[in-house]
Amino acid sequence: MSCHFRCSLGHTRTACQPRRGLCQHRTVSPQPRRYQGRTAIERTAERRERLFEAALALFGRPGGEGTTMTAICAEAQLTERYFYESFSSRDDLLTQLVQRIADEIRRAVLAALEAPAGTPNDRARAAIAAFVQVLTSDPRKGRATIIESAGAEPLRTHRRTLLREFAQLTVEGSHELYGDRALPSPHDQLTALMFVGGLAELITAWLGGEIDATPEHIVDAATAQFTSTAHR
């Protein structure tokens, strides 16, 4: 003989099994409610990604500095209510967007540096190619990270911070690649900052159609500079 009971929410939870005249109840935890096959958390994450994609589409084009929150919501086909579900302001979203792209670059560069095969110069070229590839294969990412983020605060400050972080990554990479032959401090830091700044300017010129070159040409030029200046 079995019995059923309802919780305070009205859900039937368990059947009871007779044992020595007593009902033994086992509570079953409620499952997350789904709408169109997705939980509330999944729907929130999906809306957040739509806002990131909309921000990239608008901020990653010429004149993207003037992108507004209203325009981003319209592009994502979401109301402002859902914008504030994930972000506190337009600048918050755009800063996180630029940071996401920077994180993508960092992962690609580190993966290339950590590859066991190849000479130090081969690995240096692979790391530089990874950096350039992220910013040129989808030019919106290059514009958002290098060009449009230089337009106004707080993105300008965040951009400067990222350039210095990539310069530090360059310092660490040069010491990993060349060991005792790497430049000592502070020469390694000065050289790395000039290298990262110069590479950013090359990509900026390419994005603006100011130079007759391909991303491969940029990789060639940057590799030649790095491999001749990053060590003694």
Task: For the chain, 232 residues long, give each residue's pLDDT as a single digit of tens.
Answer: 444 444 444 444 444 454 454 445 555 555 666 556 789 899 999 999 999 999 999 999 999 999 999 999 999 999 999 999 999 999 999 999 999 999 999 999 999 999 888 999 999 999 999 999 999 999 999 999 999 999 989 999 999 999 999 999 999 999 999 999 999 999 999 999 999 999 999 999 999 999 999 999 999 999 999 999 999 9
In a domain, 207, yes or no: yes
Domain membership of residue 85 (yes or no) is: no
In a domain, 131, yes or no: yes
Q: Omega of the bond prior to 30 within 30 degrees of 0, cis? A: no
Q: Beta-strand (E) ranges in the chain?
A: 4-6, 12-15, 17-19, 22-24, 34-35, 38-39
Give residue 5's domain range. 1-30
**The domain spanning residue 179 has which CATH number?**
1.10.357.10
Q: Are residues 105 and 17 in the same domain?
A: no
Confidence (pTM)? 0.83
Number of domains in the chain: 2
Which of 133, 213, 200 minimizes the C-alpha distance to 170? 200
Residue 41: which residues within 8 A CB-CB, separation 6 or more? 32
Q: In this structure, which amino acid lies at residue 68?
A: T
